[in-house]
Structure 1
């Protein structure tokens, strides 16, 4: 791992390079993103192999969620950054003197940015903010997650091949290195991970009054109304829940199902699991990141044995955990006390949706909220009476992959939005410029 002197040298070299103002040039920025695209694509096989080693992600899932989404983000930003970077002319208030006034908004890079990557989608959720930071003219230090070491090594190979360290660099390590980095006066910090670590990052940022984005998580609720198409609902909830072995920050954390259709919904979920995960293998659902998390998940099952209706098996050594359903869950159960981050889906029931909304609103704001109903008015009522980072109607997870939509949390699930044009706003300072002629 890297010592404090080396980390400080990299940081200072990036400050010095930023001071040359080379990154102010939009053509320079675009050329760097094009270089990144070329190098990134050339490492596709290495990325997929590393993701299999760390998380048991099959090639299809890794290719889409970790490679394709990054390339699409690169293409979209390269195509549009010239337009986004232009000063925006805005109306001006007239002056009592009668002098003519012009007003505009410009985007200025912050300087040196620190990006802390997560383990669950270690490629996509590290490179997407990196694209935004470079697109807006910053220099960047990246620390990949130490919990996915094979992937972290590939990330370092890509960035070191594409860029010089005074422009973009990788620092490997864990808590010790993160503390060293957080002690430096970065101009912006972007963190994706748990709320517990997010608090540490925010506290460190406060010491330097450093602006930051926190992409956290939370217990994202799903509501299944009595008029929902249960076949499609079971399929779409399953796709969102079992992807990456449930280790997705916007995965459905629990499901509220209308009492009239609960039994039918459960049967549809079981049928989908039997059809798609029969003789479940590592290649279908993936690995849990650590044995410690396997034990946490097993603890939920142990404390809710009477509520287990499907799955529940696990292999500690191979970090495998079966897709699992729990029924008749209450908010007093251990599985409902924090974000699950694994392939366990608790099922609760309701008759009056207003009771559900009260429960959701009495708890920390989630990163996502999902509602399944054929009644648009019902769905809109749920959305207008709740707060979440983002939301979907009759689907799950899809919004994360759209570079046309801002992605991020609210309240306890984080703050700050990014992807596409919204990354341009996040990673640059909007400077008002007024001129009297």
Structure 2
């Protein structure tokens, strides 16, 4: 933005953020786990649109963890380190940064690491505190914290206490729950009952809001982001007997005549907008 400001050039920035994922009691946990696990662990979690943490009720947490474990085994086998479909961290610095997150809360799935391969297993954490580093930084790695809430309202409050994310996700079979989350949170994008796939639809814009970015891209939105919409109004010099009313000195009579002229101009062809 600093470089572009010298030339008054528009920019589009995607800055990422902490994307929340609310899992409701009414959802199909098996389907939800498959889609969450795919989004969080593909490319070893190095995706800015991936779910950053899960919010769910305590009474479904263990079932969700079990379903996540089944999904991980289905995708990558019992040992993801041996899977040709599971990635590695892009750099040693990134590996060490994400590895440090494993000390937050309690590891209930995964947690294995191999520095020489920059390998971090698909990992699920519980008992994470809001003050832990993993809840303050974007993860960009294969680690998924699960936090519990007592109600939908508490989940929405939890989300809204933080910077506006790049995406908000909700898994629920209740249209009312989906509507509540969508209308009472703010984010660059929103997706129900899936994760990350909103970026595949070229007729939808992709971008952040607030700390998660500025501007939009994707399909025609990319073209529009760097195009200037030029306002063009073609007028003529007719009806000066009416338009003179805008000139001073002003009087009450001019105001009434101007209001009358405005009402007529809505149905006339005095000018064209291109």
- TM-score above 0.5: yes
Residue matched to 1:211: 10
- Name the structure 2 match of 1:418: 217
CA distances 1:4-55 after superposition (whole Å, capped 9, x unpaired): xxxxxxxxxxxxxxxxxxxxxxxxxxxxxxxxxxxxxxxxxxxxxxxxxxxx
SS at match of 2:66: helix
CA distance in 2, matches of 1:282, 1:293: 21
Query: Residue 328 of structure 1 is aligned with which of 114, 127, 135?
Result: 127
Match of residue 202, structure 2, among 377, 386, 403: 403
SS for the counterpart of 2:157 is helix
Question: What residue in structure 2 maps to residue 435 of structure 1?
Answer: 234
Mapping for residues 179-328 of structure 1, pairs under 5 Å:
202-277=1-76, 278-280=78-80, 281=82, 283-301=84-102, 303-304=103-104, 307-328=106-127
Comparing both chains, which one has the higher relative contact order based on Cα–Cα distances under 8 Å and sequence gaps of 6 or more? 2
In 2, distance between residues paired with 1:418 and 1:297?
28
- The aligned residue for residue 139 of structure 2 is 340
Aligned residues: 234
Structure richer in helix, relative to its length: 1
Give matches, 1:25-424, under 5 Å: 202-277=1-76, 278-280=78-80, 281=82, 283-301=84-102, 303-304=103-104, 307-424=106-223
TM-score, with normalisation over the residues of structure 2? 0.82
Separation in structure 1 between the aligned mates of residue 110 and residue 131 of structure 2, nearest angstrom: 22
Post-superposition shift, 1:239? Answer: 1.0
Aligned counterparts of 2:163 and 2:5: Cα–Cα separation in 1: 22
Aligned residue in 1 for 2:269:
none
- Using the TM superposition, give the Cα deviation of residue 282 of structure 1 relative to its aligned residue in structure 2, in angstroms: 5.3
Name the SS of the counterpart of 1:233 in structure 2: helix
Cα RMSD of the aligned pairs, angstroms, is 1.3
- Report which of the two structures shows the higher radius of gyration computed on alpha carbons: 2
1:64-101 CA distance string (max 9 Å, x none): xxxxxxxxxxxxxxxxxxxxxxxxxxxxxxxxxxxxxx
Following the alignment from structure 1 to structure 2, what is the Cα–Cα distance between the partners of residues 330 and 392? 26
| Equivalent in the alignment of 2:261 | none
The answer to whether the Cα contact below 8 Å between 1:370 and 1:394 also exists between their aligned partners in 2 is: yes
- What 5-or-longer segments of structure 2 have no aligned partner? 237-274
Q: Which piece of structure 1 moves more, 417-426 or 341-350?
A: 417-426
* SS of alignment partner, residue 211 of structure 1: coil
Q: Give the match's secondary structure for 2:131.
A: coil
Provide Cα deviations, 1:197-230, integer angstroms capped at 9, x if missing partner.
Answer: xxxxx23333443321111100100000111100
Could you tell me which runs of 5 or more consecutive residues in structure 1 were left unpaired when the two chains were aligned: 1-201
Give 1:286 shift.
0.8
